[in-house]
Structures are given as C-alpha cells and as structure tokens.
Amino acid sequence: MSANLFGQRLQMMSFGESHGVAYGVVIDGFPGNVPIDTKLIQKSLDRRRPGAQSYTSARNEADQIEVLSGIFEGRSLGTPICIIVRNLDQRSQDYKTIKTKPRIGHADDTWKSKFGHADHRGGGRSSGRETLTRVIAGSLAQQLLKKVAPKLKVTVSIDQIGSHKIKCSPDQLPAKIIKLLENAKANGESYGGIASCHITGAPKNLGQPVFHKLKSDLAAAMLSLGATTGFEFGGGFESVGLKGTEFHKSMKSKNYGGIRGGISTGEDIEFRVAFKPTSSIKDTAKKGRHDPCIVPRAAPVIEAMAWFVLANHYLWSKTDQL
C-alpha cells in the first residue's frame, strides 16, 4: 500500500502540492455505470473554499474541477476517475522568507528532513489545500452510495470552538464565535475545536474484522487530516467514567456509536474529531494566508472522508458472502 493511497476496495490516490501546478485525485475501484453528476462534485468543493467568510483565509481560488478520465456521458466507466484542480493563486513570493526560517507548528522542516528536498515556498503536501482531493473523492463516494443506500446521510456539526462549547452547523456559526474568529484573524490568534459527525441510514455489516473495523478506518481517515489531534466514537472518552451496567443499557445504546465488534449495526453512527489551533499565528502568519480556526472549513472534509470510508466498506461487504 502506498503512502498516498487510501482505501481497500474503493481507493483514492491523492497528489499535488500547495505551490505546484495542480492538486488531483485518482479513484480506482469505482464500479461502472454509476450515474455521476460532476456539478455535485463542484458544489462540494465550493463549500470548503476559503475566502467565503470574513474569518477565513483570503486565499481565493476558483477551484474548478477538471475531469480527466473515468466518466463518460454522465456515467462511470469502471476505469480510474481522475479529477484535478489547478493552483491558480500561487502567490509564492509571499512565502520566500520561509526558505530560511521554519514556521512554528508547521511541518516544513520535518518534510525537508525526511525527503531531503522540499518546496521552500511552504506547505507542500501538508497544506490544508490537499483536502480538496478528499472532497472530490467523497462526493464520488456519496454518488455511488446514493443508489444502494438512498437513506444514508452524513452530517457534521461543530461542538466546540476554542473553549466555547456550542452545537451548530459549520455554515451557521453563532455571532459570538464569528466575532471571536474575526478578532483572532486580525490579531494573529487561532483556535482549535471539536466537530462531530452523525451518520444515519447506514447499511449494517460495514467494517471488517480485526484490522479494518469501521471505527479503525474512520479513525485513520480523520487522523490523516492535517490539524487533527483526536478521534472518538459513540461514548468516547467521556463515557469511560460509566459503569458497565450503565454503558451497556441496551443493544441499541448510543454508547456503541452504531458499531459493535467493528461492524456497523444499522444504528446511527456518531464520532467526534478534535482539532488543534491552527499553526498560522502571529509573525509566521503575517505574510501567508491565515485561517484563525480550521474547524468550520474541515467540516465538509470530514463528511467527505466519512462518505469514502462508507463506500469503501460497502463495496467490501459485497464479498462477505457468495
């Protein structure tokens, strides 16, 4: 399995660097003859675009998808689907100073150490911009599942920004949070947060024994995202304090998070992801683009990865029995 490949039955190979020509993704294992609406993919991308809100980074790219292969006359060909998005607004001169001075909390130096060579204009593969390949893949996964699990829904909400516990849609932050983030943006401050993901209508039998339990693959998917620091599902860290007789009240307890023995039960699946404060603060952020909190923009990416994991396991489950 390669470093930039995700999934076992449905697979995505992601490529591209922040200051390179384009980001892109190749989806292999996508069944043939599935109706695909590329406008829906574009729409998903538009959701994660920066610059849409007062409190997000000003980097403003059209992020137009370009389908290179795998789709013909509105249906999948069963061949690998490659979709790219060009990097238009590269503004690399802003990043020149990085060449000599690593930015705090960023990964510029670790990548350079590892591979012996790095794009000194910053970010590279570890840029948040890489996640647009996930969103493209997730939209395709969603369109695949639409046919076989029409009631399946994946929704992300925000549970916490900084120290503020909230419960809102990532598209409708409360006024006080917007204020907080606008101030942060102005002052070179940043905040972390927690997002929760709710999946309803998922087929049962998703997940594989032992090393590809659904919880394990969801965790791997979420922790493959840049600023994440934690994953929990069902009862998670909080329910640790419960006695067994409280935790295991019924076979349908929410504490199970819709997964037992690593396999989806048909109940609602629920997991939460922690994000650290973005690294782009103060001095280091001055000249680059600055997102004071990544959580609202991460929401569509979490959804996308969840769709992808579900689609991967759906295809996998087709060989559980003859």
Task: Pick the closest to residue 274 from 294, 254, 256 (CA basis).
Answer: 294
3-state secondary structure of 107: coil
175 touching a copy of itself, by CB under 8 A: no
Residues numbered 212-251 forming contacts with a copy of itself, rule: CB under 8 A: 212-213, 215-224, 228-237, 239-245, 247-248, 250-251
183 touching a copy of itself, by CB under 8 A: no
Q: How many residues bind a copy of itself (CB under 8 A)?
A: 139
31 touching a copy of itself, by CB under 8 A: yes
3-state secondary structure of 89: coil
275 touching a copy of itself, by CB under 8 A: yes
Residues numbered 64-123 forming contacts with a copy of itself, rule: CB under 8 A: 66-70, 72, 75-82, 84, 102, 104-111, 113-119
From 45-53, 54-62, 168-176, 187-195, give the range in contact with a copy of itself by CB under 8 A: 187-195
Distance in Å, CB of 183 to a copy of itself, minimum = 11
From 38-46, 89-97, 205-213, 296-304, give the range in contact with a copy of itself by CB under 8 A: 205-213
CA separation, residue 97 to residues 116, 212, 288 (Å)? 19, 43, 10
Task: Pick the closest to residue 160 from 188, 192, 182, 190 (CA basis).
Answer: 192
Q: Alpha-carbon Rg of the chain, whole angstroms?
A: 20
22 touching a copy of itself, by CB under 8 A: yes
Check residue 11 and give left, alpha or beta (phi > 0: left; psi -120 to 50: alpha). beta
28 touching a copy of itself, by CB under 8 A: yes
3-state secondary structure of 224: coil
